[in-house]
Structure 1
């Protein structure tokens, strides 16, 4: 959530103003999504959020069972949560539009679509959960691999890219190219079932509705990690299990990518991406667990605790209020209030002030023990 909120700092603008600086170029890369194959720090935001949904589920189920809530009521709450997440995704994607923007690639919508299946798996054995993960990834792989590649007379104008786009893959990996794949073809049918300002042809970023299926795989990895955590394994044993799992996921993902079997692409959430990002999630969780739980250094992360305690509120703040706050500062402080340290750094000043206001809101909620949950 902090990384997403920090987008207002606009490191890319600083890097553009200071083209000779490798420091700002590095920060710009880490705050941007890679064009297609690969990974930046920013690309790990959505899988981390999805992974933690899975981690939290065993605790949620145990809490509700402890209150003697019936399975029927649990399912009612699950479907309600799923629907709210989907509708909230529609709302955020429709801001500044002329009508409802029915699109399903938003993080909240993707989680909402897969959440009922995740909930069902929460009551099953770990073996069933691993089997479900493998089935999802293998099935999704076959779905893409079976879709035909563009032919000689393919109309590239319908994809938003050209046949010689620099990030296009060749060989078997071309089945996972931008806006020429099976998920793109599905959206060309599915999204046009809804009322739209104009017919859907392609998503400019290459994102797709069906990515919720492998995203469910990420949530299942989180579910398994959460179950291990809740089982109160000895600290060293748990960290060891997390690290081994991380290493295996990394190894399989990188080999799939290197041999051209399945590329690591976040934008369409390839099976290799599910494994690769899952490896990072296990690694990050083990690191935080070691520092916070074993070494008892929770105070180091007070900032993150405040933001994470109201993650939905943080998500909505970042999507809705940043522009309003910035515009208000320009009205009351002057249009050029943020050139204090020069034109190159103005986004750091304006963005930093927006971040302070957003954190103040979240801290106020935290102090008053107001936590927005779905």
Structure 2
């Protein structure tokens, strides 16, 4: 998985904090006293900044928590179990569901959050501020400034900083989808007309936004001419060498000459792209495939090249994931019956899955996370819809909430777990206290003596370490913080 191979929501990107909203609204109300009848009358005429606080959606928190758990699992155990790590190119593994799941969550949360904010200017300010916060944390954590958990150094060469990343993509999708939702506030229906497709026509402008993103991505991907390009990387003798990739084509969906990579090289510069792409695990690059390994002597030059998995053009395609998520949120708002909600969600998910399977197995548009292909959007959004519906059935319909409480706790503090666990900041802090040499630290001692030595297997030990020392540990921490009503919010 791309470094840091990690994920708001993603992380609370679109998660509106109810307490903050309520406090701000209370402050606004306190500014007008009862002794001022004129001002009070004016206040009654104007819509409040925020509508009355709504009950949290346990299903959404649990789904967010599940996605965080998957992210930690594939990031830290993917090296031992390459089958759950990102697919080297075409195909979809467990790790490839994490990003679109977060974007789906972003969409659902936007629908619920902005439903409670009728004042447009206030909503726009909050969206812009949250977007800037996500960009800041994304560049700080994924731009190269932090080297946690094992490299105790910090700082980044601005000539090599990585501008794109997981939080940056989430920020873009959140910003676009939320602004469309805000801009159509006055067009938002209070009730739907009869008919299965009324929910689509009622929010047609959100779908228009998704369709525009689809057209931009598809036209650029299949019509943009990709010329030859060069890059500098280390050769087998660890010396810097200039390599050239021969292209001169259009509509190519392979690693070397696709429009997605070309747009990023032109937009950001090749030195600012991710320099450890997963395509290096392809059979064309290494005999160790699907694991990482030394390059073959006859490996193509592009095997050593950088590639940005969260780049500009692929992020435009990712807007569709957010659009589908916001549709699920609209269904949750307008349909009050469990059966009707599930009918809408599951039918939409099945259609998406069928479209994806047809596109992939006819080789029209393969499922590809690195390109964020349309079939990948459909497949992962359909999977998200199925999982979301299953959680809703278990938690909200059948009332089986207790088994998923740990996921709710993690989901309510997703940003904390993302930074501390997925980005390795907490482990890096612990590693900073070592004896004689940096490798002699508590984290390595626990891994070696509690897990590796006991199970006589590094693979099994790694998996159990991730499950108990990371996921279980942060579930407990998140539960304690929830009891104390402490949350890390953007």
TM-score by length of structure 1 reads 0.81
What is the CA distance between 1:91 and its match in structure 2? 0.7
What is the CA distance between 1:350 and its match in structure 2? 4.1
What is the CA distance between 1:78 and its match in structure 2? 0.6
What is the CA distance between 1:147 and its match in structure 2? 2.2
Q: Which has the larger radius of gyration?
A: 2
Residue 321 (1) aligns with residue 321 (2): no
**Which of 382, 395, 402 pairs up with 1:299?**
402
**Which of 168, 175, 181 pairs up with 1:122?**
181
Structure 1: tracts of 5 or more residues without a match? 16-27, 161-171
Which whole-Å CA distance do the structure 2 matches of 1:159 and 1:255 have between them?
38
Residue 192 (1) aligns with residue 269 (2): yes
Alpha-carbon deviations, 1:285-338, whole Å to 9, x = none? Answer: 111111111111111201100100111111111202234446769535874423
What is the CA distance between 1:38 and its match in structure 2? 1.1
The 1:305/1:279 distance shift into structure 2, 3 A limit, reads same
Which whole-Å CA distance do the structure 2 matches of 1:180 and 1:159 have between them?
18
Residue 41 (1) aligns with residue 82 (2): no
The 1:174/1:159 distance shift into structure 2, 3 A limit, reads farther
- Find the counterpart in structure 2 of residue 340 from structure 1: 454
**Which of 475, 479, 484 pairs up with 1:359?**
475
Alpha-carbon deviations, 1:255-277, whole Å to 9, x = none? Answer: 22233322211112112211111
Which whole-Å CA distance do the structure 2 matches of 1:9 and 1:306 have between them?
21
Map residues 175-186 of structure 1 onto 2, 5 A cutoff: 175-186=252-263
- Find the counterpart in structure 1 of residue 83 from structure 2: 29
- Find the counterpart in structure 2 of residue 108 from structure 1: 167
- Find the counterpart in structure 1 of residue 55 from structure 2: none
The 1:248/1:197 distance shift into structure 2, 3 A limit, reads closer
Number of corresponding residues = 340
Residue 10 (1) aligns with residue 124 (2): no
Which whole-Å CA distance do the structure 1 matches of 2:313 and 2:429 have between them?
33
**Which of 92, 99, 106 pairs up with 2:157?**
99
What is the CA distance between 1:236 and its match in structure 2? 1.1
- Find the counterpart in structure 1 of residue 116 from structure 2: 63
Map residues 243-258 of structure 1 onto 2, 5 A cutoff: 243-258=346-361
The 1:189/1:332 distance shift into structure 2, 3 A limit, reads closer
Deviates more, 1:109-118 or 1:342-351: 342-351
- Find the counterpart in structure 2 of residue 18 from structure 1: none
Residue 148 (1) aligns with residue 251 (2): no
What is the CA distance between 1:7 and its match in structure 2? 4.0
Deviates more, 1:42-51 or 1:339-348: 339-348
- Find the counterpart in structure 2 of residue 225 from structure 1: 328
The 1:128/1:159 distance shift into structure 2, 3 A limit, reads farther
Q: Is the 8 A contact 1:3 1:42 kept in 2?
A: yes
Q: Is the 8 A contact 1:136 1:213 kept in 2?
A: yes
Matched residue SS, 1:203: coil
Structure 2: tracts of 5 or more residues without a match? 1-67, 148-154, 185-201, 235-248, 276-301, 435-439
What is the CA distance between 1:3 and its match in structure 2? 1.3
- Find the counterpart in structure 2 of residue 74 from structure 1: 123
Q: How large is the RMSD of aligned CA atoms in angstroms?
A: 3.1
Which whole-Å CA distance do the structure 2 matches of 1:195 and 1:158 have between them?
13
Which whole-Å CA distance do the structure 2 matches of 1:248 and 1:173 have between them?
30
Which whole-Å CA distance do the structure 1 matches of 2:258 and 2:106 have between them?
28
Higher helix share goes to which structure?
A: 1
Q: Is the 8 A contact 2:177 2:206 kept in 1?
A: no
What is the CA distance between 1:102 and its match in structure 2? 4.1
Deviates more, 1:99-108 or 1:80-89: 99-108
Which whole-Å CA distance do the structure 2 matches of 1:104 and 1:209 have between them?
10
Which whole-Å CA distance do the structure 1 matches of 2:229 and 2:341 have between them?
52
Alpha-carbon deviations, 1:25-59, whole Å to 9, x = none? Answer: xxx412x1111111112211111111011101122
Deviates more, 1:300-309 or 1:95-104: 95-104
The 1:38/1:105 distance shift into structure 2, 3 A limit, reads farther
What is the CA distance between 1:62 and its match in structure 2? 2.4
Alpha-carbon deviations, 1:94-148, whole Å to 9, x = none? Answer: 2135335643442211011232221122243422222222232133111110023
Which whole-Å CA distance do the structure 1 matches of 2:250 and 2:461 have between them?
42
The 1:264/1:90 distance shift into structure 2, 3 A limit, reads same
